[in-house]
Structure 1
Amino acid sequence: MKKVTLLAFSAAIAVNACAQQNPTAMKYGKLITAEDAKRHLSILASDEFEGRETGKPGAEKAANYIAGEFKKLGLQAPVNGSYFFNVPLVQSALKVSAFAVNGKPFVLGQDFIPNGTVPDKNVSGSEVVFVGFGTEGEIGSTDLAGKVVLWINEDKPEEGKTANVAVRMTTARLKVFANLQSKKPAIILAANGDLTALLKRFGRSIASPRLTIKEEAAKANTGVPVFHVTTAIADELVKSTGKTYSDLKAAANTTPVVTAKADFTANFSNDRTDVKAVDVVGFMPGTDLKDEVLVFSAHYDHIGLEADPKAKDKVNNGADDDGSGTTGILEIARAFSKAQKDGHGPRRSVLFLGNVGEEKGLLGSEYYTDHPIYPLANTITDLNIDMIGRVGEEYIGKPDSANYVYPIGSAMLSKELHDIGENANNTYTHLKLDYKYDDPNDPNRFYYRSDHYNFAKHGVPIIFYFNGVHADYHQPGDEVSKINFPLLAKRAQLVFYTGWELANRDKKPVVDGAK
C-alpha cells in the first residue's frame, strides 16, 4: 500500500511539472476564439470569393483581405513595403488533337490525364514496350529511346508487405519513374487500376488548365511527356499479345518486358499565358533572437468554380480546405500582435505566410522556399495548417470526434520539435494527437501534400496540422455552415502555444532527422 501511494505521488508531481502553464501565453492564447474565427471564415469562404482559385478574381479578393488584416494587426509588410510576394506562374491549357490506340480514340479527363505539365509534341509508333514495374533490374539493357512505354504505376510487390497501388506516386516509385525518363522514351503511359474511379469524380478539374512556376514551365517543354492512363487504354495497347494488361501485370516478375504491336498516335500542345499570383506575407520582428524566423503557414487558395454547367451549387467554397487554416493563421497573428503591443513580443521573428497555388501543386510555398525573403538557414520551423475546421471521416461518431487533430511530420526532421508540440498540447489544449498519417510511407502521402513539405525538403523542421478528409473534400459542400468553430479555435490554439514556445525558448529545435 505504501509503495502504491509513493508511486501515485511521484506520478502526480511529474504531471504537474509537465503541465506548468505560462500565464502570459495563456492570456493571449485565449484571444483565439470561435466567434472571431467565424467572422473571418464567413468572408473568406463566401460565394463572393468564388472558391479562391489561383489566378482568378476570388483569390485576389482573398489575398487583399488577408493583407488588410495583417495591416490592421500592425504586421510589417516585408516585400519593399508590400504584403504581396509575387509568384510568377504560367497557365498551360493542354490541347489534345489526337490520342488513339489502334484507331480507337480516347478522351482527356475520361481516359487519361497528363502527369504535370507536358511538352508540345506529336508522338506516333507501331509498337509499345511494356516495362512491368520499371525497375532497372527489370529493364536491363532494353533500349527505350524514342519508344512508347507502358508502365505499371504501382509499387512493386514485396513479400510480407502491402504494396501501395494508389495513383499518386510514392517515393520509391518516383525514383523508378525518374530512371525511366532518363532512358529518353518518346512517351511514358503510366497505367493504374484506380484511375477510372478518380477520373469519374475529379476528371473535369484534373484535366483543366495547369499552373506552373514560370521558370519550371520552360524546363517542362523539353522533357519526356507522361500520361496517366486507364487499364482500358493499357488493354488496347497490349491487345496484339493475346493477353490483357492484368495478365502481363501478373506475370511481370518473370516476364517484365514485353513488346506489343500497337498503332499509337498522340498529338498535344499547350496554350500558355502568364498568371498573376501572390503569397501574402506579414512579418513581426523579434527581440534578442530576431535573426531567427518562425513561420506560420496556410494556403488561402482553393479550386474555384464548378466546371459542370449543370451543377446546382457552382462554388467550391473551401471553408475547411483551407479557409480554416487561413483563419487559424489570422487568429494566431492577432494573438501575437496583441502580445507585442502589450510588451510581450516574441524573441524570434515571426513570418505569417499565406500561400497561393497549393491546390495547383504547392506552387506558392515552392517559390517562397526557392526564393525566401528570410534565409531558410535562419528559419527554425514551419507550422503549417491545412484543414482544421471539420471532423474527418474516420472520427465521425467517435467520443473524441470534437477533440483531436492529426499532427504530421513533427519528428521527421527534429525529435525535439515533436516533444515541443507534445508538451504544448499536454500543457494547454489536451487534444488527442493522432499520428496515424505521420509516416512518409503512408498510402495517402499527406506528408507530401501541403505547403510544409517545401520547407521540409530544404531541411526546415515542420509540423503539419490536419483534421483528415471528409465527404465534402474538394466538393461544393465544403461550406461555412459545416465548420466546427470551437474545434477550429482549439486546434489553432495548439499551433499558437507550440509557436509561442518556439519563438521564445533559448535554443531552436535541433535538426537530427533526414530530409
Structure 2
Amino acid sequence: MIRLFILGAMLLSLTAFAQERAPLPTTDAEARALAATIEADDLRRHLTILSADDMEGRETGEPGQKRAAAYLAEQIAKLGLPAIGEDNGYYQTIKFSRQKWDTIAMSVDGRELRHLWEFYSAPSRNTDREDQSISEITFLGYGIDHERYNDYAGHDLAGKTIMIFAGEPRGRDGNFLITGTKDPSAFSLDDGAKLRAAREHGVETVIVIDPTFKNNVQEVRRETLDGRLKMTDRTESERQEANNIYITPDLARTLLGKEYRKVVRARKRAEKTGRFRPVVVPTDIRLVQDKETRELIGENVLGYLEGSDPELADEVIVVSAHYDHIGKRGDAIFNGADDNGSGSSTVLEIAEAFTEAARSGKGPRRSVLFLWVSGEEKGLLGSEYYASHPIFPLANTVADINVDMVGRIDPAHEGNPNYIYVIGSDRLSTELHNINEAVNRDFTQLELDYTYNAKDDPNNFYERSDHYNFAERGIPSVFFFNGTHADYHRDTDTVDKINFDKMVRIGQLIFYNAWQLANQDKRIEVDVK
C-alpha cells in the first residue's frame, strides 16, 4: 500500500510538471528561431524613434502621442497585419475629459442657494453658460417624450426652463405607463433620456426634483472635487443633453409656491389619463454655470494576427504595452525611453516574430492582439477603455501579457541585468504562473523576481499598470517590469541608458509565454479565487 501511495504521488507530480508547458505543434527549435528574430538593433531602432525629442514625451492627446501612434500603425502595416480599427485603420479612439466648475451659482428671489446642499449640477453633464435670468418655469410632469406617454405633446417649450419629476408615471394598477408592467423603462434608469428629449425640444434648462437628493449628490460632490481626466462618450461639441440642475423637494415647494397643489393635482391627473397639462409658474431665478474643460483625444493602437486553427481562432491572447508618457515641462522633454518606450518597442518585435511564423505557414493557433494603449499615465485609461469597449469579447480573451519598463536595471539588481520582476502571474491562474516558470527554465534562464507580486507590496505595482484592467475582469494577466530607477519620470529617461541585450532576453521570454498560450491545446483556466 505504501509503495502504491508513493507511486501515485509520483505520477501526480509528473502530471503537474507536464502541465506546466504542454507540447506545441512547433518544435522547440522552431520556437527558438522565431524568438531569435527579436534583435537588439531592431529594438534600438524602434526605441530611438519613439523616445526622440520630436515625440515631445508622448503625452496623451498631444501631437507627440499622435506621431508615436502613427509610427506604431506604420510598423503594423509593414508587417501586413489587417486594419481592424476605426475607419479601416489601426486605431481605437478614446475621448478624455476633465471638467470642473469655475463658478456654479443659483439664487431665488435674491437668496443665494448652496451648491451640493440645496441644488447640484454636474459639470460633465452641462455646457458652459453665462449668467441666466429665469422669470418663469414650466412644470412639465416627468419630462418624457415617448409614444405611450408624452409630456411634450402639443406644447412648444423652445427657449423655456422646465421643472420635472424624477422617475416616470404609474397607472391606477400600479404598472408603469410606458412598459405596462412593474418594470420601469429607461426614463427611470437614465435621466439622460429626459435631458436629450429636452434638448431636442429646444428647452433651455431642466430643473429635476430629486427625491433621493442626499444619496445622489455624493457622486457630483466627488466629480466637483476630482480634477482627473476621465473617459467620456462624447466631446463638448457632441453634447446632446439640455443644461440641468437637480434640487431638493423642499426647494421645489419654495419655487412652486402657491402653485404646488396645482402641480400635485396635475400629476395625479396624468397618472389617470396618461396626459400632463403643464403649469406655468413665475420665478426670479439667476443661474451661472461657468466651467473649465480640458479635452483630449487619445488612441489605442491595434495589431491583430488571426489564429490558424479554426477551432481556436476565436480565442485571443493580448500582448499589451502603453506608449504614452508625461510630455514636457517647460523646455524639458520627458522622453520616456524606459517608461514605456521599452515595452512598446518590445511588443513590436514580438509582433514581428509572430507574423514571421504566420508567413512561414506556422502561425499561432489562437489569435493574438498586440495592443498599444495611451492614457496609462492618466490612470490606466487606455486599457480601461479597451476593457470596457473590447474589440474582441472578453469572454474569449485567454490572457493579457503586459510589458511596462523592461530596458533598465534597478538598484536591487545592480550588476545583474538578467532578471525581471513578474507581477500577477499567479493571482488568477496557477497555470499561467507555471507556464512562465517553465518557458524561462527551458529557454531564457532569467532570474524571476516576485518581490512586487506580494499582496502586501507597499508600492502596489499590481494595480499600477495596464494588465490590471484585464485582471479586474477575471482575465489571467502577468506584468513584466524592471523596477524603478533614478531616471523614472524624469527628463533623464533617455535611450542612451537602455540595456538592449536585457530587452532582447525579456522580449524572448514574453514571446515564449505568448507562443505557449497561443498554441497549447487547452485554454488556461482561472483557478484562483
Settle same-fold status: TM greater than 0.5: yes
Question: Shift of residue 25 of structure 1?
Answer: 0.6
Does the alignment pair 1:87 with 2:99?
A: no
8 Å CA contact 2:387–2:469 kept in 1: the answer is: yes
Does the alignment pair 1:483 with 2:492?
A: no
SS of equivalent to 1:66: helix
Question: Shift of residue 89 of structure 1?
Answer: 1.5
Counterpart CA distance in 2 for 1:506 and 1:185 is 47
CA distances 1:436-485 after superposition (whole Å, capped 9, x unpaired) = 00023311010000100000011100010000011111100000011001
Question: Shift of residue 335 of structure 1?
Answer: 0.6
8 Å CA contact 1:91–1:210 kept in 2: the answer is: yes
Question: Shift of residue 182 of structure 1?
Answer: 8.9
Does the alignment pair 1:457 with 2:463?
A: no
SS of equivalent to 1:277: strand
Query: Equivalent residue for 1:65?
Result: 71
Counterpart CA distance in 2 for 1:422 and 1:485 is 23
8 Å CA contact 2:99–2:124 kept in 1: the answer is: no
Does the alignment pair 1:283 with 2:304?
A: yes
Query: Equivalent residue for 1:298?
Result: 321
Counterpart CA distance in 1 for 2:412 and 2:365 is 39
Query: Equivalent residue for 2:510?
Result: 495
Cα distance change, pair 118–444 in 1 and its aligned pair in 2 (3 A): farther
CA distances 1:5-37 after superposition (whole Å, capped 9, x unpaired) = xxxxx9xxx9x9999971111001001011110
CA distances 1:222-251 after superposition (whole Å, capped 9, x unpaired) = 99xxxxxxxxxxxxxxxxxxxxxxxxxxxx
SS of equivalent to 1:276: strand
8 Å CA contact 1:119–1:269 kept in 2: the answer is: no
8 Å CA contact 1:381–1:461 kept in 2: the answer is: yes
Counterpart CA distance in 2 for 1:487 and 1:387 is 11
Q: Which amino acid aligns with 1:27?
A: A
Q: Which amino acid aligns with 1:299?
A: H
Q: How does 1:93-242 map to 2 (within 5 A)?
A: 184=218, 210-215=228-233
Computed over aligned residues only, the root mean square deviation of the Cα atoms, in angstroms, reads 3.4
Q: Which amino acid aligns with 2:33?
A: K
Query: How many residues of Structure 1 are paired with residues of Structure 2 in the alignment?
Result: 354
Q: Which amino acid aligns with 2:94?
A: V
Question: Structure 2 regions of 5+ residues with no counterpart?
Answer: 1-9, 105-122, 127-213, 247-288
Question: Shift of residue 490 of structure 1?
Answer: 0.8
8 Å CA contact 1:119–1:270 kept in 2: the answer is: no
Question: Shift of residue 181 of structure 1?
Answer: 9.3
SS of equivalent to 1:290: coil
SS of equivalent to 1:271: strand
Bigger mean CA deviation after superposition, 83-92 or 425-434: 83-92
Give the alignment's TM-score, normalised by structure 2. 0.62
Which residue of the other structure, out of 377, 388, 395, is the alignment partner of 2:413? 395
Q: Which runs of 4+ in 1 moved over 2 A?
A: 16-21, 91-97, 117-120, 180-188, 215-218
8 Å CA contact 1:62–1:300 kept in 2: the answer is: yes
CA distances 1:95-152 after superposition (whole Å, capped 9, x unpaired) = 699xxxxxxxxxxxxxxxxxxx9999xxxxxxxxxxxxxxxxxxxxxxxxxxxxxxxx
8 Å CA contact 1:324–1:386 kept in 2: the answer is: yes
Percent of aligned pairs with the same residue? 47
CA distances 1:263-316 after superposition (whole Å, capped 9, x unpaired) = xxxxx985114322110001000021100000000000000001xx4xxx6100
* Bigger radius of gyration: 2
Cα distance change, pair 63–93 in 1 and its aligned pair in 2 (3 A): farther
Cα distance change, pair 119–269 in 1 and its aligned pair in 2 (3 A): farther
Give the alignment's TM-score, normalised by structure 1. 0.63
Cα distance change, pair 344–216 in 1 and its aligned pair in 2 (3 A): same
SS of equivalent to 1:407: strand
Does the alignment pair 1:347 with 2:365?
A: yes
Cα distance change, pair 333–482 in 1 and its aligned pair in 2 (3 A): same
Query: Equivalent residue for 1:379?
Result: 397
Query: Equivalent residue for 1:36?
Result: 42
Counterpart CA distance in 1 for 2:231 and 2:80 is 31
Cα distance change, pair 186–41 in 1 and its aligned pair in 2 (3 A): closer
Question: Shift of residue 215 of structure 1?
Answer: 4.5
Question: Shift of residue 395 of structure 1?
Answer: 1.7
Question: Shift of residue 402 of structure 1?
Answer: 0.8
Question: Structure 1 regions of 5+ residues with no counterpart?
Answer: 1-9, 98-116, 121-179, 189-206, 224-267
